[in-house]
Amino acid sequence: MSVVEIERTEKINLLGLDGKAMEAFFLDLGEKAFRGNQMMKWIHHLGQSDFTEMTNFSKGLRERLAEVAEILPPKVAHKEFSKDGTRKWVLEFPSGGRVETVYIPDKKRGTLCVSSQLGCALDCSFCSTGKQGFQRDLTAAEIVGQVWVAQNSFGPVDNVGDRPVTNVVMMGMGEPLLNFENVVTSMNVMMADFGYGISKRRVTLSTSGVVPAIDRLSDEIDVSLAISLHAPNDALRDQLVPINKKYPLQVLLAACERFLNKFESNRRRITMEYVMLSGVNDSVEHAKELAVLLRNVPSKINLIPFNPFPGSEYRRSSNNAVRRFQTFMQDAGYITTVRSTRGDDIDAACGQLVGKVVDRTKRSERWKNKIQLQNE
Ligand code: SAH
Ligand code: SF4
């Protein structure tokens, strides 16, 4: 690490503080607690990252802030705004690493897809992030920074005005429940009035099924839950979502029931994500099995067209197969939607953040070459 980087990491990045932590930060400075909300408003409503512009703070306080803190968003390395309103950013973090963040507007909704880790350790067989392996957790500041960039691309918001980002889904890179603290902190900022003011039903955490962390989540925060299910039985799910070997379907679904019971709302459902892989999990037989499997868990089903990536071994199911599957599930009484592939013109649909991936196959090919070279 260079000297410059060491100096920088000593300052606290205020993007990563939720309301309580921001108050504590100002109390530590010998200031009043209400300064916390003022700062949240500067950062998240007004998009301000320069302390010298914060005119409701005294000059002395602004100087002190510049000494101990910073508001350091990720750098926009690349952006593409599509004709249909979809926006995509490639964001680069000051301490290294890149993510893609996608904004998809739809009627009155604007959904932002956010990443929680660089890469992912869970290695689902159809996922390009999984193929990259795990690099590191994102900090809370890096997770919130993605929302900051997206919202700022529309300009400042006032307290009650229309906000462009109405929904956030933790469906970019990474397994959010394996970066628990930072994800919970950043979701707190997303939901805070002085943060992004997003309602708890509109912040969705998607997990491949880290069961103990699902229980912990419901102890700490009330958000919507989506499960990456993808298969109606353990034999198939073991192949697609390897964490299933540790937490098989019955264990996972019991955790889903506990999650729902915790919040005592009979209108509440868990979203079951199901990526449609041609000839693998997309037959009517699979749909039948799924309908039986989920009968005790209030669920809605979201069918996701598979997004192929270089080196992937699967194909996207035909529209017919998707429709047949959807109709069967609907007839069985499940609300079943198909994720739209809007933003395809900029390759932006959520959960499909392919990027410039160095996948494991390529890495192992390089190893093979190296070994060959040594043998020659
Ligand atoms: N790790 C979490 C959240 C990130 S993945 C999880 O697995 O839920 C977000 C969603 O995108 C998941 O439902 C995931 O299964 C899906 N996904 C991953 N790769 C995909 C691909 N190639 N095509 C379509 N959906 C994919
Ligand atoms: Fe990780 Fe989710 Fe991809 Fe599985 S689908 S490898 S859990 S990001």
Structure confidence by residue, pLDDT tens digits, 310-369: 889 999 999 999 999 999 999 999 999 998 765 554 444 555 544 433 333 333 333 333
Fold of 3-70: DNA polymerase; domain 1 (1.10.150)
Could you tell me if 109 and 118 are in contact, meaning their C-beta atoms sit under 8 angstroms apart? no
Count other Cβ atoms within 10 Å, centred on residue 359: 17
Tell me the pLDDT tens digit for each residue of 149-176. Answer: 999 999 888 755 678 999 999 999 999 9
Count other Cβ atoms within 10 Å, centred on residue 74: 23
Cα–Cα nearest to 171, from 99, 258, 250: 99
* Residue whose CA lies nearest to ligand 2 atom number 4: 124
Where residue 263 falls among pLDDT bands split at 50, 70, 90?
confident
Tell me the pLDDT tens digit for each residue of 191-232. Answer: 999 999 999 999 999 999 999 999 999 999 999 999 999 999
Pull the structure tokens for residue 332. 């069985």
Q: Verify whether residue 350 is a known catalytic residue.
A: yes
Could you tell me if 337 and 302 are in contact, meaning their C-beta atoms sit under 8 angstroms apart? yes
In this predicted structure, what is the pLDDT of residue 161?
A: 61
Q: Verify whether residue 100 is a known catalytic residue.
A: yes
Distance, CA of 199 to CA of 34 (rounded, Å): 23
What strand order describes the sheet that includes 75-81? Answer: 75-81, 87-92, 98-106, 109-113, 167-170, 203-207, 224-228, 270-276, 299-305, 335-338
Pull the structure tokens for residue 155. 């300009």
Where residue 7 falls among pLDDT bands split at 50, 70, 90?
very low
- Over residues 140-150, mean pLDDT: 98
In this predicted structure, what is the pLDDT of residue 365?
A: 35
Q: Which of 116, 117, 124, when mutated, tests ligand 2's pocket best, judged by the most ligand atoms within 8 Å of its CB? A: 124
Using the structure block, give the residue that is written with the tokens 């491949």.
208
CA of 217 to the centre of ligand 1 (A): 20
In this predicted structure, what is the pLDDT of residue 6?
A: 44
3-state helix, strand and coil shares in percent for the chain, rounded to the nearest 5:
40, 20, 40
Q: What is the DSSP letter of 176?
A: G
CA of 284 to the centre of ligand 1 (A): 22
Could you tell me if 238 and 244 are in contact, meaning their C-beta atoms sit under 8 angstroms apart? yes
Whether the full predicted model's pTM is greater than 0.75, yes or no, is yes
Which of the following is catalytic: 100, 142, 175, 273? 100
Please report the atom of ligand 1 found closest to the CA of residue 120: 1
Cα–Cα nearest to 296, from 237, 255, 243, 240: 255
Task: Kindly report the length of the chain.
Answer: 376
* Residue whose CA lies nearest to ligand 1 atom number 20: 127
Specify the CATH architecture of the domain 75-357.
Answer: Alpha-Beta Barrel (3.20)
Using the structure block, give the residue that is written with the tokens 């973090």.
93
Q: Do domains 3-70 and 75-357 have the same CATH topology?
A: no
Q: Which of 45-49, 89-93, 265-269 shows the lowest per-residue confidence on average (mean pLDDT)?
A: 265-269
Could you tell me if 213 and 170 are in contact, meaning their C-beta atoms sit under 8 angstroms apart? no
Q: Which ligand is nearest to the CA of 229?
A: 1
In this predicted structure, what is the pLDDT of residue 368?
A: 32
Q: Which of 35-44, 57-66, 257-266 shows the lowest per-residue confidence on average (mean pLDDT)?
A: 257-266
For the chain, the domains span 3-70, 75-357
Query: What would you measure as the largest C-alpha separation in the chain, in angstroms?
Result: 71
Distance, CA of 71 to CA of 181 (rounded, Å): 20
Burial (Cβ within 10 Å: 0-12, 13-18, ≥19) of residue 113: buried
User: In the beta sheet, which residues pair with residue 90?
Assistant: 78, 100
Ligand 2 pocket, residues with Cβ under 6 angstroms: 120, 122-124, 127, 129-130, 174-175, 208, 228
Residue 301 has pLDDT above 90, yes or no: yes
Distance, CA of 263 to CA of 209 (rounded, Å): 19
What percentage of the chain carries pLDDT values higher than 70?
A: 86
